[in-house]
Structure 1
Amino acid sequence: MSSSYNNSYRSKSLFTNQNIVLLSIGWAVLALLYYLLFGAKVPGADGVESRAEWYVIGTNIFEALAYLGAGILCLRNWRSPQIVSSRNIWLAIGVGMLSYFLGGIFFGYTEIILKQEPDISIGDVFFVLTYLSVGAGMILAVTSRRINLEKWQWLIVLAIGLFGSLLAWWISMQQGTSKEMLVVIVNWFYVISDVVLLILATTMLLAFWGGRVAQSWRMIAAAAFSLYIADMWFKYAQGPNYQSGDILEVFWVFSGVLFGIGAVLEHDASLSRTRRERGRKRV
């Protein structure tokens, strides 16, 4: 009985919020080193330069585990009655993270196992669900707090939104247009969604500035920025010679890690607040 209790206690103490944050940061650093050290293209038997298949598999693993971990941590917040923010916010973001995890699995399977690069695949169903869910969660987070930005702060939101829109539009025009209507609709959905998340992230960053509880939302905002960078690079790099594993794609891993860290910081701040309230009641 005592041995079972000790093992359970050690297991719980190992996965403290602080340790989870350190593990997440370590995962991001390992991913960056992996991309930097092994991402170079090497000439193949036919003389065409390409990245090793084991490297591409590794990038998929780094990305998948980042989003799987973020989804689990967000759903932990959803299940916690002590969480400061609305639990629906974390449910939406958690569903989005798990959807991105599944989308990445299908995308990797299509690219690595089937050796195909279709314009639309079943993975896109989960990616679309990701944007809808994460967007809904971020909108709920912003609207749940009274937005009282200064004029110069609204100008920053406007400037970043305008820049992000122009960049996304320019990259989309560079790639040309597909003849398939479904492909066009999905591609523009991604572009618009990226810009919307960028605007929400900027608003969130300015609205939640300051305070311990706000730390979590700064991480969520940074995660949305990272997602935008990776998505824009992916869209820009797409073409007949595109191969997965470019260095800027590490921002997909960063995005998943930052969403997870944001969930952990929110959980930790909620527990601290609950302890303080109980201490006051006892006094």
Structure 2
Amino acid sequence: MNKKTSAFLSTQVILVITITWAVVSLLFFLLFSVPLPGQGRPEWYSIITYVLESFAFLAATLFCFRNWRSQQIVSGRVVWLLLGLGMLSYFFGNLILFWWEIVWRKEPDVSPADFFYLLMYVLVGFGMMLAITSRKLNLSPFQWLAVLGVGVAGTVLSFAIYTEFGTSTEVGFVGQAAIAQEVVQEAPVAEPPAEPAIPPAEPAPDIDPNAVPENAVPIEAIPATPADAPVPADAATPADATLTPADEPMEPETEGGTTAEEEAIPGWAFALNEQLEPFGEAIGIAYVVGDILLLMAASSLLIAFWGGRFSQSWRFIGAAAFSFYIADTWFLWATTYIEEYQTGALPEVFWVFSACLFVMGAALEYDLSSRSRRGSRRRS
């Protein structure tokens, strides 16, 4: 990297651009994340959210790889290699999910993107733990208890989302219904008012069936309408006539009975989706386990690097992991309790924040390592 590039990509410039990206993303989510009444979020909104999130993770990948290639990095090159591969894995997962949802317009519960998302948990988790062990930072028993407490709290929260919240809500609705039913049963039934007595009807006068009214028109005087007489155009179809099932518009179909959108999806995608569907529940549990392990790794990282010269960059990395956990926990709650949830809600901006914090942590680590090497050379 030449001097001009180094000056352009100085730490201050990187931090300013990253903060600006995070603020713009927050404003975009605040302004457009609420869908219009009776309408979903437009397609352009989903595309921009993918762009904001994917480019942030791509930038995190590049800066983590820059630390990996640097011979001056203090925290260890393998650490940043694992973190960079984790960011790249998430970026690939976003690309696959974008193609699946936006291009093919298919929203499966399980897709190949889940493999790359889950791989990110493994790579980033190992990278964060290696950052602690490589520096030979030993935690005290009290600190390990604190990390364990954070893990237990995350486990309880995930368990509550699956069980307690849903059970309490159902019990509440059932209890309210039972109380309402008891009130209806105990309420006195009002007797209907007594009907007034109706006097007996007088007998009808005798009418001769052969009698003819005075103003009657003879049948011969009524003109007959020919059977082939033309029918007015406005009287052919009533204004309020409903379409029969045969008259309703139908989606264009291609050969084999599939729609045009389904025809655009390759056959291997359908086959892969059917093969992955049975693993949907297991993949959901894997996400929860990955979030808890990532939360514990972030807690260990913050406790181990609390204080010291090189702690600032790892505080950003720990905050990035916490931001990722917040977005994942929201997504778990939303997909569990919001029927037909559509991605793009405001809490999902924490995924963008997570990538931006990874960029800031990598940039600070590179800057601190470079200054530390230059200072050691001057002292020698």
Q: Same fold (TM over 0.5)?
A: yes
- Distance 1:180-1:54 versus aligned 2 partners, 3 A rule: closer
| Counterpart residue number, 1:153 | 143
Classify the secondary structure of the residue corresponding to 2:106.
Answer: coil
- 1:55-94 alignment to 2 at 5 Å? 55-94=45-84
Q: Deviations over 1:151-181 (max 9, x none)?
A: 54334322221111111122244689xx954
Alignment partner of 1:52 is 2:46: no
| Counterpart residue number, 2:18 | 24
In 2, Cα distance between equivalents of 1:197 and 1:222: 11
The CA RMSD measured in Å over matched residues stands at 1.9
Could you tell me the TM-score, scaled by structure 1's length?
0.89
Do the aligned partners of 1:172 and 1:235 also contact (CA within 8 Å) in 2? no
Residue ranges of structure 2 left out of the alignment (5+ in a row)? 168-275
Correspondence for 1:100 among 90, 97, 110 = 90
Classify the secondary structure of the residue corresponding to 1:112.
Answer: helix
Correspondence for 1:225 among 319, 322, 325 = 322
- 1:255-274 alignment to 2 at 5 Å? 255-274=354-373
Give how far 1:150 is off: 4.5
Alignment partner of 1:188 is 2:285: yes
Q: Deviations over 1:110-166 (max 9, x none)?
A: 222222111111111211211111111012112123344445433432222111111
Classify the secondary structure of the residue corresponding to 1:49.
Answer: coil
Number of residue pairs matched by the alignment: 268
Do the aligned partners of 1:39 and 1:247 also contact (CA within 8 Å) in 2? yes
| Counterpart residue number, 1:41 | 35
In 1, Cα distance between equivalents of 2:356 and 2:17: 10
Equivalent AA in structure 1 for residue 23 of structure 2: V
Deviates more, 1:215-224 or 1:231-240: 231-240
Do the aligned partners of 2:110 and 2:277 also contact (CA within 8 Å) in 1? no
In 1, Cα distance between equivalents of 2:369 and 2:19: 21
| Counterpart residue number, 1:212 | 309
Correspondence for 2:134 among 133, 137, 144 = 144
Classify the secondary structure of the residue corresponding to 2:355.
Answer: helix
| Counterpart residue number, 2:107 | 117
Equivalent AA in structure 1 for residue 50 of structure 2: N
Q: Which has the greater radius of gyration?
A: 2
Equivalent AA in structure 2 for residue 257 of structure 1: C
Equivalent AA in structure 1 for residue 348 of structure 2: E
Higher helix residue share: 1
Residue ranges of structure 1 left out of the alignment (5+ in a row)? 1-7
Q: Deviations over 1:195-216 (max 9, x none)?
A: 0110111111011011231111
In 2, Cα distance between equivalents of 1:22 and 1:67: 17
Alignment partner of 1:250 is 2:349: yes
Q: Give aligned-pair identity as a percent.
A: 47
Equivalent AA in structure 1 for residue 323 of structure 2: S
Q: Deviations over 1:189-234 (max 9, x none)?
A: 1110100110111111011011231111111111110111101111
In 1, Cα distance between equivalents of 2:118 and 2:143: 30
The structure showing larger relative contact order (alpha-carbon pairs under 8 Å, at least 6 residues apart) is: 2
Do the aligned partners of 1:171 and 1:232 also contact (CA within 8 Å) in 2? no
